[in-house]
Structure 1
Amino acid sequence: MRTLEVTINSREDVSLTVYLQDVEKEFRNITKRPAVLIIPGGGYQFCSDREADPVALAYLKAGYDAFVLRYSVGDKYKWPEPLEDYEDAIEYIESHAEEWNVLTDKIAVVGFSAGGHLAGAAATIANHKPAAVVLGYAVLNEVVDEIAQDAPRIAEHVDYDTVPCFLFASRADNVVPVKNTLDMMNALDKAGITFESHIYAFGPHGFSVGDTAIQTRESSFCERIPNWVQDSIGFLKDVMGDFYVGTAENKILTEPKCKAHMTDDGSAWLSLDCTIGRIFGNPKAKEVLIDVIAIMQKKIIPFTPEMTFGDMMECFSRMKLRDLLHERSIEIDEEKIDALLGEVPNI
């Protein structure tokens, strides 16, 4: 493994610590690696060492390359300078991707507290969006004004283009209220973005990876808190792919198990993974599905005798059509129907 300390721009104290693992040789089919860019917290006044290298080591163990960004902090720096540092860091990594054997489309951002605010900005408003973000007890809505003047409330900027998010926090956090995480979850749900969240019953702010070597567990520290590390790695594997085991040439990662969006309602063309409300509200789609609808009318029994097939579809309007077909054991040529729907504009 190689460790480098690099300067990414002309700002004082801004740096990128680079942890690069070997590829090929004993690692065989791993010719490039996914990576995490870690953004420590510190209230935009400093960059916490607790949330820097110890976090990098956890992801290195899972096979990721790791980068720790120490960004603009202190009274002489104002928003959006920290976000500009993030953009510079991503550009720097991309410019060295071939040399460093990094998969540039498989970089996740991991941020804590104020660093979580910056990671949230990366997920929502940045020019260089990552593949996914991990948000630890992050400032996402409340208390934003207390840490950075003119900084955005991240939860208010969530839209269809937001990347998948893994969130974790403590219910008892008295520095960054858990409402920040809850508001973000609600925004992600409304936008249809894939997310996973773990809110632990009790624990202090700034618990990092939950190791006693980093922060002693004094009076109240939930024993499950360290689980967020492995859970987040599992989430990244779900949305970015896991290391491929096999003989396929040039295949480093498997295909993601989980899409970035819960449905395809925001896509340009329809599919079986659009909601029933979206599909049945499109006259052209109903023409394509005329034979499928006939089968559905026979198979789907109304909840009450008074209900029509249209009433049933209204009940299932937020469900993906593919899921309803599977649930009611309705067998169709999914590949063929999906292709036909794929020719219908999603309007």
Structure 2
Amino acid sequence: MEKEVIVLNEARKVTLTAYLQDVEGEFGNIPKRPGILVLPGGGYQMCSDREADPVAFPYLKAGYQVFVLRYSVKKDALWPQPLEDYDAAMDLIRSRAQEWKLYPDKIAVIGFSAGGHLAGAAATMAKNRPAAAILGYAVLNEDVKGCNKSAPSVVDAVDDDTCPCFLFASRTDNLVPIANTIEFMQALDRHDISFESHVYAYGPHGFSTCDSSVQDKDTSMCDRIPDWVADSIGWLKDVLGDFGKGSMTKPVCGHYASGDREAYLSVDCTMGLLMSNPKAMAILGDVLGGMMGGSSAQSNPMTEDMDQADIMAVVKKMKLRDALAYGSTSAETVEALDARLRQIENIR
């Protein structure tokens, strides 16, 4: 493994540390690696060492090229300078992807506390957005004004282009209220962005990887908190793919929770969207008619207290694939419908 420290802004003491692993040779099935950029916390007053190298090592073990950004802090943290530091780092990483044996489209970001705010900003408003974002006990709403008056809420910046996110925090965090995580999740949901979240019952702020090398073992905290590390690595495999034979495998978890924001329709679109499209209904009319006929109170006791409007309100939120599964539709029929729907442009 090689280590390289690069000065991005000498005046503001901004540096990027690269931890670069070998490929090919003994790693015969790995011609390139995914990457992750670590943004330590520290209230925009420092970049915590506890959330830098100790965080890098688990992702190195998982096979990633890892980068640690020490961004602008204190008087230099005037917004948008920290975000400019992130963009400069990501631009450099992607520009050297061939040299550093990286997949330029498989670079994630992970941030903690104020670094989590910066990671959230990277996911929602940066020029060089990451492929995925991991946000640890992050300050994401207007609470950020408590440590950096010039920094914006990133909850309000979530849009359709926001990358998939993994969030973790403690319910009893006494520094960054859990509302930060919850409000960001709600914003992701409004835009149908894929996400995974772990809110642990109790624990302090700033637990990092939560092993005894960075956190006092006598600290009162949920004993499942350390699981976020392995869970986040597993999630990255879901959204970026895993190491295969000479390439990364296909991700199993998409950018969006449904197909409603994709360019073409599919069985992964919600029923409400498909029912609003005449071309889709020309294909699905008989199928949906049969399904709705089977949703009566007589055939489904679960709906006996629901009228047709109530049933439709529920059905419209379902993906067609899931609705077809309730009707025991064969896999061949589902795939045939999907192939036909994928010929129809999604005009929203």
Mapped partners of 1:76, 1:56: distance in 2: 25
When residues 52 and 298 of structure 1 are mapped into structure 2, their CA distance, relative to the original with a 3 A threshold, is same
The offset of 1:132, in angstroms, is 0.5
Give secondary structure in 1 for the equivalent of 2:139: coil
The offset of 1:298, in angstroms, is 5.6
2:95 alignment partner in structure 1: 95
1:220 alignment partner in structure 2: 220
1:265 alignment partner in structure 2: 260
When residues 145 and 336 of structure 1 are mapped into structure 2, their CA distance, relative to the original with a 3 A threshold, is same
Equivalent runs, 1:218-297 vs 2, <5 Å: 218-244=218-244, 246=245, 251-297=246-292
Q: Assess if the C-alpha contact under 8 Å between 2:171 and 2:203 holds in 1.
A: yes
Q: Structure 2: give runs of 5+ residues left out of the alignment.
A: 298-302
2:51 alignment partner in structure 1: 51
The offset of 1:30, in angstroms, is 0.2
- Superimposed CA distance per residue, residues 300-320 of structure 1 (whole angstroms, 9 cap, x where no aligned partner): 555349955x76443311110
1:326 alignment partner in structure 2: 325
2:313 alignment partner in structure 1: 314
What is the RMSD of the two structures over their aligned residues, measured on CA atoms? 1.9
Give secondary structure in 2 for the equivalent of 1:99: coil
Equivalent runs, 1:164-243 vs 2, <5 Å: 164-243=164-243
- Superimposed CA distance per residue, residues 122-162 of structure 1 (whole angstroms, 9 cap, x where no aligned partner): 11111111111000000101421112223221111112211
Mapped partners of 1:131, 1:17: distance in 2: 20
The offset of 1:271, in angstroms, is 1.4
2:300 alignment partner in structure 1: none
In structure 2, what residue type is equivalent to 1:328?
Answer: G
5-14 or 126-135, which moves further after superposition? 5-14
When residues 305 and 133 of structure 1 are mapped into structure 2, their CA distance, relative to the original with a 3 A threshold, is closer
- Superimposed CA distance per residue, residues 192-248 of structure 1 (whole angstroms, 9 cap, x where no aligned partner): 11111111111111110001111213341222111110000011111111111x4xx
Mapped partners of 2:306, 2:222: distance in 1: 51
Mapped partners of 1:311, 1:220: distance in 2: 46
291-300 or 66-75, which moves further after superposition? 291-300
Give secondary structure in 1 for the equivalent of 2:98: helix
The offset of 1:295, in angstroms, is 4.2
Mapped partners of 1:261, 1:210: distance in 2: 30
Give secondary structure in 2 for the equivalent of 1:143: helix
Per the normalisation by structure 1, the TM-score is: 0.93
Mapped partners of 2:288, 2:113: distance in 1: 50
Mapped partners of 2:199, 2:20: distance in 1: 32
Give secondary structure in 2 for the equivalent of 1:175: coil
Say how many residue pairs are matched: 341
Mapped partners of 1:227, 1:334: distance in 2: 37
Identity, % of aligned positions: 54
Mapped partners of 1:168, 1:93: distance in 2: 26
159-168 or 211-220, which moves further after superposition? 211-220
In structure 2, what residue type is equivalent to 1:112?
Answer: F
210-219 or 276-285, which moves further after superposition? 210-219
1:148 alignment partner in structure 2: 148
The offset of 1:47, in angstroms, is 0.4
In structure 2, what residue type is equivalent to 1:254?
Answer: T
Mapped partners of 1:27, 1:98: distance in 2: 17
When residues 86 and 219 of structure 1 are mapped into structure 2, their CA distance, relative to the original with a 3 A threshold, is closer
167-176 or 3-12, which moves further after superposition? 3-12
- Superimposed CA distance per residue, residues 308-333 of structure 1 (whole angstroms, 9 cap, x where no aligned partner): 5x764433111100111012212353
Q: Assess if the C-alpha contact under 8 Å between 1:300 and 1:328 holds in 2.
A: no
Mapped partners of 1:190, 1:45: distance in 2: 33
When residues 144 and 305 of structure 1 are mapped into structure 2, their CA distance, relative to the original with a 3 A threshold, is closer
The offset of 1:335, in angstroms, is 3.1
Equivalent runs, 1:30-69 vs 2, <5 Å: 30-69=30-69
The offset of 1:290, in angstroms, is 2.8
The offset of 1:299, in angstroms, is 4.9
Equivalent runs, 1:297-308 vs 2, <5 Å: 297=292, 299-302=294-297, 303-304=303-304
The offset of 1:340, in angstroms, is 2.2
The offset of 1:334, in angstroms, is 2.8
Per the normalisation by structure 2, the TM-score is: 0.93
- Superimposed CA distance per residue, residues 101-141 of structure 1 (whole angstroms, 9 cap, x where no aligned partner): 01111111000000000000011111111111000000101
Give secondary structure in 2 for the equivalent of 1:169: strand
